[in-house]
Amino acid sequence: MKLRYLTLPVLLLVLSQVANALAQEDPLPSWNDGKTKQSIISFVERVTNENSEDYVQPADRIATFDNDGTLWSEQPFYFQLAFALDRVKAMAPQHPEWKDKQPFKGVLDGDLKAVMAGGKKSLVEIIATTHAGMTTDEFEEIVTQWIATAKHPTTGRLYKEMVFQPMLELLAYLRANDFKTFIVSGGGIEFMRPWTEATYGIPPEQVVGSSIKTQYELRDGKPVIVRLPEVDFIDDKEGKPVGILSHIGRHPIFAAGNSDGDWQMLQYTTIGHKPSFGLIVHHTDAEREWSYDRDSHIGQLDKALDDAPRRGWTVVDMKQDWKRIYPN
C-alpha cells in the first residue's frame, strides 16, 4: 500500500509502529555508537540469554546507581546542600540569633566561602538543623514543594530537570530486561524518596541513602515518626556495600557511579563476582555540563578512575559518549 492512499489515522499508526521499531533497535538513542554503548548492550544480552553461560535469573538482576553526579548533576555543590541552604533562609525569621552565628550567618549573607570554611562540622550542623525537629510526613511535604520549584543558580533549570537523559534510557533499558534498579547514594534517603519514582521510575522502597535517627511518637493521638538531629547512617564509600546488604539483601550484578565515593560499591559488585558490570560516569564536558575529576572538591574521581582498567569497569566519557546531557 502506498503512503499517499493511507488515511491520517492509519498513517499515524504506521509512523508510530516505525518509531517503536526504531526504539527497539536502539535502546540507548542518546548514547553515541561505540565501545561504551556496545559494552552495556553486550552485557545485558549475555545475562538475559538463557543459552548463555552468563545467564542470570531475573530475581538476581540487581542494578545499583549512585545519584549525585551519576543520575543528575552535582556542581557547583550537591543539590541537597542547596535545599538545606534554602531551608536556613526559610527558617531564619524564627532564629534571629543566626544573623551573628556561623555557619548560618554565612548562608544568610550569601557567603558560601564562610560556610565551607567550617568544613564538615558546619555542613553537618546545617543539615541537622534544617532536616530535623519535624515528622517524616512534614519533611516529605517540604522536599516535594522544593523539588517542584527550586532552580539551579547557573543553568536556570529546575534541579529535577538536570537529570541525565542517557542514564534515564539506561535505567529503562535495564528494567525492560527484568533488572530491578536501585539508588544507592550518599544523599539523604528521605530527601530522595519523595521524587525518585516520578523522576527515575525508582520507587521509594528501592532507594538506599544516608539517614538521621528517628523515633516513634503519638502527637495529638496520631502516630508519627519524628526526625532527630543526629546522624544514623552514612551511605557513602565503605557504607554503600553495607547499605546494599541491609536494604536490598541481594548482591548487585551492575553498579554505576561517578566518584571515589562509589569505589567500594563498584568493588563489591564486581570483584570475585561474574558476570558483573561496573560503570563510571566521567564528567568531561565543560561546555554542556562540567568537567572535573581528580582535584574536584565535589565528586572527586581519582582512585576509582585508576582502578577502572584493572577491574574492567566501563568509563563513560560524557563528552564523547553522550549525544545530549539533559532531557529536552
Burial class (CB in 10 A: 0-12, 13-18, 19+), 265: buried
Cβ partners under 8 Å of residue 266, min gap 6: 255, 257, 278, 280, 304, 307, 311, 313
pLDDT band at 62; cut points 50, 70, 90: very high
Cis ω for the linkage preceding 275 (within 30 of 0): yes
Other beta carbons less than 10 A from residue 238's beta carbon: 12
Instruction: State the Cα–Cα distance between residues 56 and 60, nearest whole angstrom.
Output: 6
pLDDT at 4: 46
Instruction: State the Cα–Cα distance between residues 7 and 119, nearest whole angstrom.
Output: 67
**One-letter identity of residue 298:** I
Q: Is residue 288 part of a domain?
A: yes
Q: Is residue 147 part of a domain?
A: no
Q: Is residue 301 part of a domain?
A: yes
pLDDT at 122: 83
| Cβ 230 vs Cβ 137: under 8 Å | no
Q: Is residue 206 part of a domain?
A: yes
| Cβ 138 vs Cβ 129: under 8 Å | no
Strands 222-233 and 207-219: antiparallel
> Domain range for residue 298?
30-76+160-321
Q: Is residue 10 part of a domain?
A: no
pLDDT band at 249; cut points 50, 70, 90: very high
Q: Is residue 273 part of a domain?
A: yes
Q: What CATH number is associated with residue 223?
A: 3.40.50.1000
pLDDT band at 328; cut points 50, 70, 90: confident
Cβ partners under 8 Å of residue 178, min gap 6: 48, 58, 61
Residue 133, Ramachandran bin (φ over 0: left; ψ between -120 and 50: alpha; else beta): left
Long-range contacts of 107-112 (CB under 8 A, 24+ apart): 112/77
**pTM confidence score:** 0.90
| Cβ 236 vs Cβ 210: under 8 Å | yes
**One-letter identity of residue 155:** T
The mean pLDDT value for 294-318 works out to 97
Residues in a beta bridge with 256: 65, 279
Domain count, the chain: 1
Long-range contacts of 51-60 (CB under 8 A, 24+ apart): 54/274, 54/275, 56/253, 56/275, 58/178, 59/250, 60/250, 60/251, 60/253
Tell me which of 121 and 3 has the higher pLDDT. 121
pLDDT at 5: 46
Q: Is residue 60 part of a domain?
A: yes
The mean pLDDT value for 105-109 works out to 95
| Cβ 27 vs Cβ 41: under 8 Å | yes
Long-range contacts of 231-238 (CB under 8 A, 24+ apart): 231/124, 231/128, 234/186, 234/210, 235/184, 235/185, 235/186, 235/189, 235/208, 235/209, 235/210, 235/211, 236/186, 236/210, 236/261, 237/261, 237/263, 237/264, 238/264
pLDDT at 67: 98
Q: Is residue 109 part of a domain?
A: no
Instruction: State the Cα–Cα distance between residues 83 and 290, nearest whole angstrom.
Output: 21
The mean pLDDT value for 100-113 works out to 93
Instruction: State the Cα–Cα distance between residues 160 and 328, nearest whole angstrom.
Output: 13
- How do residues 76-99 score in pLDDT, each as one tens digit? 999 999 999 999 999 999 999 999
